[in-house]
Amino acid sequence: MRFSYLSDLSEDQERYRWVIVVAGFFGLLASLGLGRFSLGMMLPSMGDGLELSYAQMGLISTMNFCGYLAAVLVCGRLGAVVGARLLIWAALLLVGGSMVLIGLSSSLVSVIVLYCCTGVGSALSNVPIMALISTWFEPARRGRAAGLCIMGNGFGILLSGQVVPWLGTTGRDWRVNWLVLGGLVILIAFICLLLIRNEPARHGAPAGVTNRSGEGLRAVVQRVGAKTMLYCAAIYLLFGFTYVIYITFMVTSLVEERGLSEHAAGELWSLVGLISLGSGPLFGYLSDKVGRKSGLIVVFAIQTVAYVLAGMKLPMISVFLSITLFALVAFSVPTIIAALVGDYASPQGAATAFGLVTFVFGIGQVAGPAVAGVLAEQTGSFATSFLMAGMLTLTALILSSRLPPRSPEIS
């Protein structure tokens, strides 16, 4: 059975697919770039203001991923009921609203509960945004399109790395950061509502009207194969566990272990955002040309070196090299995984397949900061956590090398 309706797009639909990419960029900028990746910049000042331990800092991040994990379970069903456009809009409102409320909070418990809600909104917006790429793009261009969307993550890091230290110089405390960034997310929610259409129009239906008969999990697993789905999920699990350790604690490590000021650490974190802008498109394009398997192998090799350098007590040049290498591939794995599951599944099954691997990915994100925070508490350093991350990305590299080829019947 061949799924080839994308080859029949009209000229207007061909052009509009790139509007979907622009909307996806803004959606991921809000959902993950600001809703999640800005946390690392705000943790040092939050830690001082709320008198948090390393373990408590890790708990804040972990509860965000718990919310993300729980929401992934219902993403497919909600998307089938209301459509991607409305789901993404409502989810981004939840992200922005919960961030604003964090800015009005003064206790650890309220921050944890609200940031868990932020995680729910992040999942309910991220998953349908990435699934839209398989709906609007054929396999030969999925990697590039997904990569352009994921540039939003890097732009969010760049933005938070500049805005958070600047607000700090004005004498305002960490709560103002949440208010400003949360308000920006709410604005972006309405931009996405304006731009997103659920799928290309077919059979005379207007753009934005969707066939909501997406495939169920059992049908998707039968088509893709249980072993293949297991490999995809395990690879994404290991990525989720490892990268979240780095993004959550690298700035804190620079401030508290390397003696950098918050401003200097913010400049380095902005460098991550700047370099990472190209990671999604670059490796998405690479995976389109040389294959998803080869792309993942290269990415995990680079990540392994980055994490090992971060964990070793070497001169500051090793930190710069670690940050550069991490940024170079920062958002390449979600790009490739989104394209990969779209290749293995069908346009109808892409949301279900991506939701499944994202659920497992979420388990890794829940465990990563919790384990790293406890290790840092026990050892007094994040070095052990970074070295552990390097060992796990090496394992992901080995698993990636065992991925089967895509069936030519799925397009």
Domains and CATH numbers, the chain: 10-400 (1.20.1250.20)
Computed over every residue of the chain, the mean pLDDT equals 83
SS3 384: helix
On whether the CB atoms of residues 125 and 221 are closer than 8 A, the answer is no
Average pLDDT for 77-91: 90
Q: 85: which residues sit within 8 A by CB, 6+ positions away?
A: 192, 193, 196, 197, 198, 208
Which amino acid appears at position 301 of this protein?
A
Q: 332: which residues sit within 8 A by CB, 6+ positions away?
A: 147, 279, 280, 282, 283, 284, 295, 299
User: What's the pLDDT score for residue 81?
Assistant: 86
Q: pLDDT tens digits for 350-390?
A: 667 777 888 888 888 888 888 988 898 888 888 999 999 99
Q: pLDDT tens digits for 93-114?
A: 999 999 999 999 888 999 999 9
Task: Give the Cα separation of 112 and 118 in Å (integer).
Answer: 10
* Residue 308 banded pLDDT, cuts 50, 70, 90: very high
Task: Give the Cα separation of 10 and 147 in Å (integer).
Answer: 24
On whether the CB atoms of residues 322 and 200 are closer than 8 A, the answer is no
3 CA to centre of own chain: 28
Q: What is the pTM of this model?
A: 0.74
Task: Give the Cα separation of 22 and 150 in Å (integer).
Answer: 10
Task: Give the Cα separation of 248 and 252 in Å (integer).
Answer: 8
Q: Read off the DSSP letter of residue 402.
A: T
User: What's the pLDDT score for residue 297?
Assistant: 95
On whether the CB atoms of residues 276 and 328 are closer than 8 A, the answer is yes
Task: Give the Cα separation of 253 and 312 in Å (integer).
Answer: 12
User: What's the pLDDT score for residue 90?
Assistant: 96
Average pLDDT for 176-194: 95
Q: Look at 405 and 9; give whichever has higher pLDDT.
A: 405
On whether the CB atoms of residues 387 and 307 are closer than 8 A, the answer is yes
On whether the CB atoms of residues 84 and 35 are closer than 8 A, the answer is no
User: What's the pLDDT score for residue 25?
Assistant: 94
Average pLDDT for 223-237: 85
Of all residues in the chain, what percent are helix, strand and coil, respectively (each to 5)? 80, 0, 20
* Residue 287 banded pLDDT, cuts 50, 70, 90: confident
* Residue 213 banded pLDDT, cuts 50, 70, 90: very low
Q: Is the pLDDT of residue 226 over 60?
A: yes
On whether the CB atoms of residues 95 and 185 are closer than 8 A, the answer is yes
On whether the CB atoms of residues 153 and 28 are closer than 8 A, the answer is yes
Q: Look at 371 and 338; give whichever has higher pLDDT.
A: 371
User: What's the pLDDT score for residue 3?
Assistant: 44
Average pLDDT for 86-97: 96
Phi, psi (deg, nearest 5) at residue 295? -60, -45
Average pLDDT for 133-151: 82
Q: Is the pLDDT of residue 43 over 60?
A: yes
